[in-house]
Amino acid sequence: MKLARNSSLWISAPIFLTAGLAALGSWYISGLALLGSIFMIFFHRDPDRLPLGDGMIAPADGRIIQVDQDRLIIFMGPCDVHVNRAPLDGLVTGVRHIKGGHRPAFLCQAGNNQQNRISMDTEEGGIELALITGTLVREIICYVSPGDRVIRGERIGMIRFGSRVEVTVPQSYRLVAKKGDRVRAGETVIAVKRS
């Protein structure tokens, strides 16, 4: 199983804790630590993905909780893959960290939480992604920097433990995804070019 970048500490710490507790004979507590280790491996998984068609693809796994005319919001639950991907080919023009609150990521007010905003120029115009933390660990790892060229489906970052991703849609595209749909990062087409 492929694991997300920068996840070795998060995975190895509970494994060492499990081994240490087992060596001390604390079987019940070491069993709980083992469950924590399994969760960490599951949470940090990073499967390879291929787009399932032409168009703009989902930048995150999860459920679509809001759709506006030119913006879509995806909530990532604890069982979703938390690695985020580029929805279109483009040039990263800006990465901006914004301090903020720590409300649950599924609430409307979570748009004011701590976040990284990634701006991109694409052939169809500019887009912006907001990688927004939730209430727990609140860590955003950004894999890209201004000046990087990315291809559709390429890994661009990760958010740990409860989060959401907002993405704008160029005017030349129309949304095909709807509120309530489940999507997969780097795979599900969320918008197609207007004819």
Q: Is 163 an active-site residue?
A: yes
Within this chain, do residues 77 and 24 fall inside the same structural domain, yes or no? no
Q: Is the pLDDT of residue 124 over 70?
A: yes
Residues 24 and 73 in one domain: no
Range of the domain at 32: 8-43
22 and 94 share a domain?
Answer: no
Tell me: do 29 and 74 sit in the same domain. no
Burial (CB < 10 A; 0-12, 13-18, 19+), residue 72, is buried
How many structural domains compose the chain?
A: 2
Instruction: Identify whether 2 is part of a domain.
Output: no
Written as six digits, the tokens of 53 are 């068609």
Q: Are residues 108 and 179 in the same domain?
A: yes
Catalytic residue chosen out of the listed positions 37, 119, 163, 195: 163
Q: How confident is the model at residue 79 (pLDDT cuts 50, 70, 90)?
A: confident
Residue 30 and residue 64 share a domain: no
For residue range 50-72, list pLDDT tens digits in order.
888 899 999 999 999 999 888 99
More confident site: 20 or 117: 117
